[in-house]
A and B are shown apart, each in its own frame.
Chain A
Amino acid sequence: MELDFEAIKGIIPQRFPFLMLDRAVEIEPGVRIVGLKNLTGNEWFYQGHFPKRAITPGAMICEAIAQTGIVFFHLSQPTLQDVTFLMGALKIRFLKPAWPGDQLRIEVTPVRLLSRAGILNASVSVGKEVIAKGEFALAAKDNREL
């Protein structure tokens, strides 16, 4: 199972400049997902991070992880409607930088999934090298409560 960019937009509400996922592949609901994000030199955040040397901000890598997790959660719990996911605990270790031209491969697997929340494991790689890894938590909140 795969999702292209348009299908991803049908699942998560983020849009430019905050959509950090181009495609999802190797999808097994409840088991795993792999998100792909192609980084180009035109990304908005490289203007300031940094003007003399473009390096992908760790915060944006976390955002890509979270968005991959949200897609995974929606596919794993398809009855969940009209919710926004909020990120809770985040324990990510950054091992190497990501540069313009890299493709982030974000693999997410569940540590524990509940009906409306979950702890997920993430491993982000570029080519064969893992550049970030760790755990994060997501919780669904009804939109009318926000």
Chain B
Amino acid sequence: MSTINIDQDVKAIIAEIIEMDPDKIDANAHLVEDLGMDSMMALEILATLEKKFKIKLPEEELPKITTVNRAIELTRKYVK
């Protein structure tokens, strides 16, 4: 899977779960403080990323998903 696809897919997944237009999301905006993500949404994002990319993200990585860009970095790290 290309990095462009990963970037777009991760952003689309997060946008759908936090119910925002992907084009209006600043990839460096804080998901909790700026975009209103709650813990349940974070869990849903984690599970959806794992399902979409067929990866397993360790639980300790969850707090690191603070921005779309951080989520992309993390996903790239685990996608083979």
Contact = CB atoms under 8 A, between A and B. Distances in A.
B43 A119 contact: yes
B40 A89 contact: yes
B43 A137 contact: yes
Contacts of A115: 59
A89 B62 contact: no
B47 A111 contact: yes
Nearest to B50: A112
- A interface, how many residues as a size bin? 10 to 19
A88 B39 CA distance: 9
A88 B59 contact: no
Interface string B37-61: 0111101101100110000000100
Interface in A19-73: none
A1 interface: no
Nearest to B39: A139
SS class of chain A's interface: helix, strand, loop or mixed?
Answer: strand
Nearest to A113: B59
Given A112-B46, A119-B47, A139 B40 contact: yes
A58 to B, nearest CB: 20
Interface string B56-72: 00010010000000000
Contact of B39 (A111, A112, A117, A119): A117
Interface in A93-144: 111-112, 114-115, 117-119, 137, 139
A88 B46 contact: no
Nearest to A86: B40
Interface of A: 88-89, 111-112, 114-115, 117-119, 137, 139
Interface of B: 38-41, 43-44, 46-47, 50-51, 59, 62
Closest 4 CB pairs of A and B: A88-B40, A112-B47, A119-B47, A114-B59
